[in-house]
Amino acid sequence: SRLRRLGMMLSSCCCQSPLALIDVKGFEPKDVTVVMKDGKVTVSAERKEEHNTCMGKKSSYRKYMKQFSLPPGCEKEVTYSV
């Protein structure tokens, strides 16, 4: 499997510049979850891969999580894009 470099950008209507740019290298968009609660944004990603080889089964597991607080007044509308 090939690794893809995905960049996720979080933005808000009240802030002129992006709130965060997050590198989620090695994850597919469907592996990434964004949750906003109590003025904090949590970005998490999880991926498990299994491959059969001539020596047996090979597995790998990756997990990523980043949490940060939003600036005051930016909790109303936060969007993200991958």
What pLDDT score was predicted for residue 12?
A: 60
Instruction: Kindly state the tokens that stand for 35.
Output: 């949750």
What pLDDT score was predicted for residue 8?
A: 58
Q: For the chain (length 82 residues), average pLDDT per consecutive 10?
A: 51 64 83 86 89 86 87 70 70
What pLDDT score was predicted for residue 3?
A: 45
What pLDDT score was predicted for residue 63?
A: 93
What pLDDT score was predicted for residue 2?
A: 42
What pLDDT score was predicted for residue 24?
A: 81
**For residue 10, with 0-12 CB atoms within 10 Å meaning exposed, 13-18 middle and 19 or more buried, which class applies?**
buried
